[in-house]
Amino acid sequence: MEKMSRVTTALGGSTLTGRTMHCHLDAPANAISVCRDAAQVVVAGRSIFKIYAIEEEQFVEKLNLRVGRKPSLNLSCADVVWHQMDENLLATAATNGVVVTWNLGRPSRNKQDQLFTEHKRTVNKVCFHPTEAHVLLSGSQDGFMKCFDLRRKDSVSTFSGQSESVRDVQFSIRDYFTFASTFENGNVQLWDIRRPDRCERMFTAHNGPVFCCDWHPEDRGWLATGGRDKMVKVWDMTTHRAKEVHCVQTIASVARVKWRPECRHHLATCSMMVDHNIYVWDVRRPFVPAAMFEEHRDVTTGIAWRHPHDSSFLLSGSKDSTLCQHLFRDASQPVERANPEGLCYGLFGDLAFAAKESLVATESGRKPYTGDRRHPIFFKRKLDPAEPFSGLASSALSVFEMEPGSSSMSWFVDTAERYALAGRPLAELCDHNAKVARELGRNQVAQTWTMLRIIYCSPGLVSTTNLNHSVGKGSSCGLPLMNSFNLKDMAPGLGSETRLDRSKGDARSDTVLLDSSATLITNEDNEETEGSDVPADYLLGDVEGEDDELYLLDPEHAHSEEPEYVLPQEAFPLRHEIVDTPPGPEHLQDKADSPHVSGSEADTASLVPVDSSFSLISVSHALYDSRLPPDFFSALVCDMLRFYAEQGDVQMAVSVLIVLGERVRKDIDEQTQEHWYTSYIDLLQRFCLWNVSNQVVKLSTSRAISCLNQASTTLHVNCSHCKRPMSSRGWVCDRCHHCASMCAVCHHVVKGLFVWCQGCSHGGHLQHIMKWLEGSSHCPAGCGHLCEYS
Amino acid sequence: MAEEEGEVRWDGLCSRDSTTRETALENIRQIIVRKAECLRLVKETPYRPADGLSDAVSLDGLNKLLAHLLMLSKRCPFKDVREKSEFILKSVQELGIRIPRPLGHGPSRFIPEKEILQVGSEDTQMHTLFADSFAALGRLDNITLVMVFHPQYLESFLKTQHYLLQMDGPLPLHYRHYIGIMAAARHQCSYLVNLHVNDFLHVGGDPKWLNGLENAPQKLQNLGELNKVLAHRPWLITKEHIEGLLKAEEHSWSLAELVHAVVLLTHYHSLASFTFGCGISPEIHCDGGHTFRPPSVSNYCICDITNGNHSVDEMQVNSAGNVSVSDSFFEVEALMEKMKQLQECRDEEEASQEEMASRFEIEKRESMFVFSSDDEEVTPARDVSRHFEDTSYGYKDFSRHGMHVPTFRVQDYCWEDHGYSLVNRLYPDVGQLIDEKFHIAYNLTYNTMAMHKDVDTSMLRRAIWNYIHCMFGIRYDDYDYGEINQLLDRSFKVYIKTVVCTPEKVTKRMYDSFWRQFKHSEKVHVNLLLIEARMQAELLYALRAITRYMT
């Protein structure tokens, strides 16, 4: 309404002019119809039946057809239609089942012409034959369609749909004898007007009632239907079986559908409930409406294009008692408000990017996107050159793949699967996890675990002698000697750290770290799991040599270090310094692309510095463990968790959170925890690590997370005999009365873990199937299927 | 003492696997026998008079278990459970403990037990239904046993009810049962209240809430007003009611929750109608469903007395029925004749528009005066009345009290087009389920009428359906309300009116005096029509108010 543009269209001799405008009616409208000359519109409703002239600036009431002393139900209109050949002829469908025709040429005030009271229930729709002057068709709630010849007093023929209420009837525009009817049970029928005995064709178009249909004005075979299931479907009726060619999903049940003149793929829809807008869709672009009219304040009940050869004027009537003329030019275009670009990270670090073609064209010319490391794949959708339509944009999708190998997320999967999160004492958990991390080459993480063990377990769990022992050994590698070495080496090593797994050249700094952590851990391992095959040989010979010496020194060390009680604080400047060191150039780019993608490769690099700094601290801490309560470190640990999470390694953050449980939980606010949990669970699920994710959900203490598992899970089971879904829970299929979940190997009912092939749905006890598959790859049931179990 | 021995777990019995059931039963047997023996020991040792209280408690606990076993022995769809339960009861009796026996005459007080399907003699389709129902609820209630006259409907009904109470939905489980209690209590339906009090506690509801609505959260208290209006005068619901519930600060309902609540309320209002309309007896394991007294003491249960249904009363009606067999035979014939006439003469006799309109008004007005003569106020039993407030608020006819209510036109707001879309949008899948249920209830027919076969009863069914909607002020433009007067006689109208509007006043006399030649299954069929029409009428008013609020 704000924009008031004026449009003039030349149509042969006449011209259409006008603007977006509306006028108030006295009562809600149920239907509208336009006169052939596009200058008048009729509005009908329960208590309104008027003709308005469409003038340039406004609607002008021309005629009120509701005359008589007492308004009768015959005037309570469900539908109205204006003859497209004869401007004096109108027909209405009344809610009480009467079909009325009106002749505007009558001299008296009452223009009512004929009254057909043949239907027993409400008539939902009336329709004139597009070329024949005297043929009228009606469809009623009673399930019948009747064809009237206006020169006679009663119906010429009656068509029985044999199903439920008729919701819409429409003569085909091109086929003289054909009409389509839609039904409340979802069917669409095609009839030949000469053969009332049976329909030519019937098919189920929608789930639930089909409220409306419309033949394409140009394309002979196309029929659009709209239903309560919120869909608009376009059917190609020329083929032997009606074929669905397009489908548009709307947000509410579709009450009316009308093809837009002169635009082959456009149609307008309005809904019956909840949604008040009128949409114009391009059926080839079914997700975003091409245009949207938002004038009405209540549901729109009738829409009509003003002229069959003009595509810019749309008229509509509504329950809010207004009649509107919409100008296509004034429509709002949701496309414009939509975000034209999309970006998504793949599971393995691939990046997909979709954008308007024009945007991408300029960008793809730029260097970074076609860089040496990444290989863009380029898709381009062809524009339909025949259709001059601004709203239909074509977009390009580029996919950037990671270099094979560099993007491997296997460390994530392995870690997730092998970490132990609960069920054992804290010390053991930490050790186990440290070991896992170390074996995967993630030394910094391993060290963190080790430190956590020392911080939280030493005083309580490890006896004094053991403590001394481990402390001694820990200090052996971490003390001054190494310190300088570490620091010096770390900074330059950073950039290349990503390639840690691959490039042996960088291993030097790692080995140093590795040594220290390895010592720490193996020591503990040796204490607790004696004789295990934990990499004792892993230890470097020289460290072992030092071991003994330093062990002796140990008590003194502890005392001499005492004045440096403030050492922990040192960690912060250290850390910051190292974090600030610029990572490799690729990482900058990576980060620019997505600063917070968790699990992205970037984190590996940035994690290193923290750990190195921590390793220093922890070693020094170890010396004072017996004197410092674990609480002393909680702030530090929290910082550490936050840091990991920020770097994208939520896995670490969540794992530590779970393992430490009560010890740190209170120091981190609920929301952050919840956020970590959800991102970790999300990641796990994307890697199909269902078991792990379930375990995490179960172990989480946050209410919002643990209720994720409470949401009911439905398992749909098919019977392995008749392959139809099993409706009831239990072992016996309702249909074929066989026990459904029989083990194909031992032929007993399986009541525990049941494993089955998704190909042939045979299966059985887990053990039995496993045993069977060792010997054969065919299905044990003998169905010949080559079963696959993954 | 009872607690130490561990809770008895009944849920194992719901399994479809017979070995699971057997182990569960064996556990139950051991617990019960142990308790019974303890009790007997206590009794046999006379020198322990001080411990009377704990005795009573443990006896009470045992009796509850025994009552439950009695229910199982009669009503479990699995034969093995029935037999074993009976066996346990017998063995307890041999220990010298008094065992309960069922009271009343089967699932319904109106329908002789022999007419109703016996558990154990059902066909496979029904057995599946029973097993489903039993697995979901751990019982086979009397409503199910009566509805099984119409298995097609029952399936849809159980599916819907199961979805409403146990599947995904916006409301927590105990809220759902509590709302069920609130709704049933509006009609003083102690049967439904008892059932759902058990369920409510079972899903972890707070027992304090059961002391009265004022002990429930504010959010539920707010719903009380809607419950009241919806149950008795749904045409008074406005969008202000809806707004009041949705905008109550921290106690507000969300739209989805509200739709769930409304569906539950209407479901239980109409289920209360069914309960009274078919004279459903109390469940065997609930209060009033069994007795520990030997059979000679009394012949009728308390509920019968309160409703004036002594056996004496029954006798009278029976004798009256015998006398007028020939009369009632003509009744059916006359009805058939009328239907035929209406079918044929419809086109000739053309009523004017004004007359059509006035016929609706007349029918609407007359429906108000259709009432049973014994209009005395029944004060609700205390334990039920505490679940709702404002007991005086009941069904009031619109124009009798000078209120004029605008007629609700179905053509402007109907279930198929509008109600369905709204419900399905806010509470997915339920729209579909209810829609199916309405369809089945409306279209259900066996083409029989009493002793006649191959009759098209659609006209009669439509008359009943539209008459109920007419009582609620809902008008169909395309219906000639004159038909109602032709097809429904006065005693039938009285019955319909009472069941739909004041179900607590239904008596056996009313049930017996309409359609005397018709089968019981047909009368149950009528009841299905009544409850579905009532539910739709209430839903239409509530949903229209929600729609108005939203626009």
Q: What's the CATH code of the domain at A248? A: 2.130.10.10
Residue A169 CB burial class (10 angstroms; 0-12, 13-18, ≥19) = buried
Distance of CA A6 to the CA centre of its chain: 41
Given a contact cutoff of 8 angstroms between Cβ atoms, the answer to whether A320 and B548 are in contact is no
Which of A30, A66, A96 to probe the B interface (max B CBs under 10 A)? A96
Which of A228, A273, A751 to probe the B interface (max B CBs under 10 A)? A273
Residue A457 parent element (H or E): helix A443-461
The pLDDT confidence band at residue A403, using thresholds 50, 70 and 90, is low
Report chain B residues whose CB lies below 8 A from the CB of A72: 353-354
Asked, for residue A314, whether it belongs to a domain, the answer is: yes
- Degrees to nearest 5, angle at CA B107 with B101 and B110: 120
Given a contact cutoff of 8 angstroms between Cβ atoms, the answer to whether A28 and A296 are in contact is no
Distance CA A740, CA A734 (A): 10
Mean pLDDT of A257-281: 90
Amino acid at B376: E
The contacts of residue B489 (CB under 8 Å, 6+ apart) are: B331, B514
Touching check for A124 and chain B: CB below 8 Å? no
Q: Is the pLDDT of residue A1 over 70?
A: no
Residues 12-41 of A with CB under 8 A from B: 28
Q: Is the pLDDT of residue A600 over 60?
A: no
- Is the model more confident about B517 or about B262? B262
Distance CA A49, CA A26 (A): 10
The pLDDT confidence band at residue A256, using thresholds 50, 70 and 90, is very high
What's the whole-number average pLDDT of chain A? 72
Q: Is the pLDDT of residue A164 over 90?
A: no
- Is the model more confident about B544 or about B292? B544
Please identify which residue in the block is written with the tokens 């005492």.
A562
Touching check for A211 and chain B: CB below 8 Å? yes
- Is the model more confident about A530 or about A629? A629
CA-based nearest distance B408→chain A, Å: 13
pLDDT score of B310? 39
Touching check for A734 and chain B: CB below 8 Å? yes
Tokens linked to A29: 């409208």
Distance CA A100, CA A76 (A): 11
Distance CA A533, CA A456 (A): 26
The pLDDT confidence band at residue B300, using thresholds 50, 70 and 90, is very low
Report chain B residues whose CB lies below 8 A from the CB of A166: none
Q: Does the distance separating the beta carbons of A70 and B478 come in below 8 Å? A: no
The pLDDT confidence band at residue B283, using thresholds 50, 70 and 90, is confident
Distance CA A606, CA A587 (A): 10
Touching check for A94 and chain B: CB below 8 Å? yes
Asked, for residue A618, whether it belongs to a domain, the answer is: no
Touching check for A95 and chain B: CB below 8 Å? yes
Q: Does the distance separating the beta carbons of A228 and B420 come in below 8 Å? A: yes
Residues 53-112 of B with CB under 8 A from A: none
Asked, for residue A497, whether it belongs to a domain, the answer is: no
Interface size between A and B, measured as CB pairs under 8 A: 87
What's the whole-number average pLDDT of chain B? 77
Tokens linked to A27: 């009562």
The pLDDT confidence band at residue B8, using thresholds 50, 70 and 90, is low
Residue A502 CB burial class (10 angstroms; 0-12, 13-18, ≥19) = exposed
ipTM above 0.90, yes or no: no
Mean pLDDT of A655-660: 84
Mean pLDDT of B427-450: 89
pLDDT score of A739? 64
pLDDT score of A616? 40
Report chain A residues whose CB lies below 8 A from the CB of B156: none
Question: Bridge-partner residues for A170, per DSSP?
Answer: A180
pLDDT score of B392? 55
Q: Is the pLDDT of residue B522 over 60?
A: yes
Mean pLDDT of B44-59: 59
Boundary-marking domain end, from A711, A735, A757: A711
pLDDT score of B540? 94
Q: Does the distance separating the beta carbons of A731 and B17 come in below 8 Å? A: yes
pLDDT score of A653? 86
Touching check for B135 and chain A: CB below 8 Å? yes
Is the domain of A78 the same as that of A107? yes
Q: Is the pLDDT of residue B41 over 80?
A: no
pLDDT score of B386? 56
Q: Is the pLDDT of residue B357 over 80?
A: no
Touching check for A731 and chain B: CB below 8 Å? yes
Is the domain of A331 the same as that of A344? no
Is the domain of A438 the same as that of A309? no
Report chain B residues whose CB lies below 8 A from the CB of A730: 16-17, 131
Among the residue ranges A25-29, A754-758, B189-193, B525-529, the one predicted with the least confidence is A754-758
Share of chain A above pLDDT 90, in %: 18
The 8 Å CB, 24+ separation contacts for A655-659 are A655/A419, A655/A421, A655/A433, A656/A448, A656/A452, A658/A421, A658/A422, A658/A696, A658/A699, A658/A700, A659/A421, A659/A422, A659/A426, A659/A429, A659/A430, A659/A433, A659/A452
Q: 3-state SS of A547-612?
A: HHHHHHHHHHHHHHCHHHCCHHHHHHHHHHHHHHCCCCHHHHHHHHHCCCCCCCCHHHHHHHHHHH
Is the domain of A314 the same as that of A358? no
Among the residue ranges A155-169, A657-671, B265-279, B369-383, the one predicted with the least confidence is B369-383
Q: Does the distance separating the beta carbons of A274 and B550 come in below 8 Å? A: yes
The contacts of residue A199 (CB under 8 Å, 6+ apart) are: A159, A161, A189, A190, A191
pLDDT score of A716? 66
Touching check for B19 and chain A: CB below 8 Å? no
Residue B151, number of CB atoms within 10 A of its CB: 17
pLDDT digits (tens, 9 = 90+) for B385-409: 555 555 555 555 444 444 555 688 8
Question: Bridge-partner residues for B101, per DSSP?
Answer: B291
CA-based nearest distance B132→chain A, Å: 7
The contacts of residue B159 (CB under 8 Å, 6+ apart) are: B433
Q: Is the pLDDT of residue B378 over 50?
A: no
| Minimum CA–CA partner of B20 in chain A | A751
Touching check for B168 and chain A: CB below 8 Å? yes
Helical packing angle, A410-418 and A650-660, nearest 10°: 10
pLDDT score of B405? 58
Touching check for A221 and chain B: CB below 8 Å? no
Report chain B residues whose CB lies below 8 A from the CB of A272: 417-418, 421
Given a contact cutoff of 8 angstroms between Cβ atoms, the answer to whether B403 and B145 are in contact is no
Active site residues of B: 189
Is the domain of A230 the same as that of A296? yes
Residue A69, number of CB atoms within 10 A of its CB: 6
Amino acid at A345: Y
Share of chain B above pLDDT 70, in %: 77
pLDDT score of A508? 41
Residue A2 CB burial class (10 angstroms; 0-12, 13-18, ≥19) = exposed
Is the domain of A52 the same as that of A88? yes
Asked, for residue A750, whether it belongs to a domain, the answer is: no
- Is the model more confident about A763 or about B171? B171
Using alpha carbons, select from B440, B436, B468 the residue that is nearest to residue B525. Answer: B440
Going by their DSSP bridges, the two strands B408-409 and B474-475 should be labelled as parallel
Asked, for residue A302, whether it belongs to a domain, the answer is: yes
pLDDT score of A144? 92
Asked, for residue A81, whether it belongs to a domain, the answer is: yes
Q: Does the distance separating the beta carbons of A751 and B17 come in below 8 Å? A: yes
Question: Bridge-partner residues for A41, per DSSP?
Answer: A34, A52
Touching check for A478 and chain B: CB below 8 Å? no
Distance CA B543, CA B244 (A): 15
The pLDDT confidence band at residue A257, using thresholds 50, 70 and 90, is very high
pLDDT score of A262? 87
Tokens linked to A535: 């990499």
Q: Does the distance separating the beta carbons of A729 and B167 come in below 8 Å? A: no
Distance CA A182, CA B133 (A): 38
Touching check for B452 and chain A: CB below 8 Å? no
Amino acid at B519: K
The pLDDT confidence band at residue A158, using thresholds 50, 70 and 90, is very high
Report chain A residues whose CB lies below 8 A from the CB of B131: 728, 730
Distance CA A593, CA B109 (A): 75
Q: Does the distance separating the beta carbons of B425 and A731 come in below 8 Å? A: no
Report chain B residues whose CB lies below 8 A from the CB of A74: 353
The pLDDT confidence band at residue A386, using thresholds 50, 70 and 90, is very low
Is the domain of A362 the same as that of A421? no
Mean pLDDT of A369-395: 45
The pLDDT confidence band at residue A69, using thresholds 50, 70 and 90, is low
The pLDDT confidence band at residue A43, using thresholds 50, 70 and 90, is very high
Q: Does the model's pTM come out above 0.80?
A: no
Distance CA B229, CA B238 (A): 10
CA-based nearest distance B326→chain A, Å: 36
Please tell me which of the candidates A95, A96, A272 has its beta carbon nearest to residue B417: A272
Of A173-177, A323-327, A593-597, give the range with the top mean pLDDT.
A323-327
Amino acid at B360: F
pLDDT score of A402? 67
Given a contact cutoff of 8 angstroms between Cβ atoms, the answer to whether A740 and A732 are in contact is yes
Asked, for residue A461, whether it belongs to a domain, the answer is: no
Q: Does the distance separating the beta carbons of B132 and A728 come in below 8 Å? A: yes
pLDDT digits (tens, 9 = 90+) for A283-296: 888 888 989 998 88
Residue B221 Cα distances to B225, B251, B387, B545, angstroms? 8, 10, 10, 20
Q: What region, left, alpha or beta, does residue B33 occupy, with left being phi > 0 and alpha being psi -120 to 50 degrees?
A: alpha
Q: Does the distance separating the beta carbons of A122 and B478 come in below 8 Å? A: yes
pLDDT score of A247? 92
CA-based nearest distance B430→chain A, Å: 14
Topology of domain B107-293+348-550 in CATH is AhpD-like (1.20.1290)
Is the domain of A317 the same as that of A440? no
Is the domain of A312 the same as that of A296? yes
- Is the model more confident about A315 or about B97? A315
Q: Does the distance separating the beta carbons of A94 and B17 come in below 8 Å? A: no
> In angstroms, how far apart are the furthest CA atoms of chain A?
124
The pLDDT confidence band at residue A720, using thresholds 50, 70 and 90, is low
Report chain A residues whose CB lies below 8 A from the CB of B167: 712
Given a contact cutoff of 8 angstroms between Cβ atoms, the answer to whether B242 and B223 are in contact is no
Please tell me which of the candidates A72, A712, A751 has its beta carbon nearest to residue B353: A72
Report chain A residues whose CB lies below 8 A from the CB of B353: 70, 72-74
pLDDT score of A507? 37
Mean pLDDT of A522-530: 40
**Three-state secondary structure call for residue A365:** coil
pLDDT digits (tens, 9 = 90+) for A423-449: 888 888 888 888 888 888 888 888 888
Could you tell me the residue range of the domain that residue A705 belongs to? Answer: 406-456+629-711
Given a contact cutoff of 8 angstroms between Cβ atoms, the answer to whether A163 and A210 are in contact is no
pLDDT score of A777? 77
Report chain A residues whose CB lies below 8 A from the CB of B128: 728, 734
Going by their DSSP bridges, the two strands A231-236 and A222-227 should be labelled as antiparallel
Q: Is the pLDDT of residue A606 over 50?
A: no
pLDDT score of B289? 65
Distance of CA A756 to the CA centre of its chain: 29
Q: Is the pLDDT of residue A214 over 90?
A: yes
Mean pLDDT of A482-489: 37
| Minimum CA–CA partner of A737 in chain B | B124
Distance CA A301, CA A497 (A): 66
Boundary-marking domain end, from A691, A711, A731: A711
The pLDDT confidence band at residue A698, using thresholds 50, 70 and 90, is confident
Is the domain of A312 the same as that of A328? yes
Mean pLDDT of B202-229: 86
Q: Is the pLDDT of residue B46 over 90?
A: no
Q: Does the distance separating the beta carbons of B418 and A272 come in below 8 Å? A: yes
Distance of CA A582 to the CA centre of its chain: 37
Residues 343-402 of A with CB under 8 A from B: none
Distance CA A180, CA A165 (A): 14
Residues 394-423 of B with CB under 8 A from A: 409, 411-412, 416-418, 420-422
Among the residue ranges A292-296, A498-502, A668-672, the one predicted with the least confidence is A498-502
Q: Does the distance separating the beta carbons of B421 and A274 come in below 8 Å? A: yes
Q: How many domains does chain A have?
A: 3
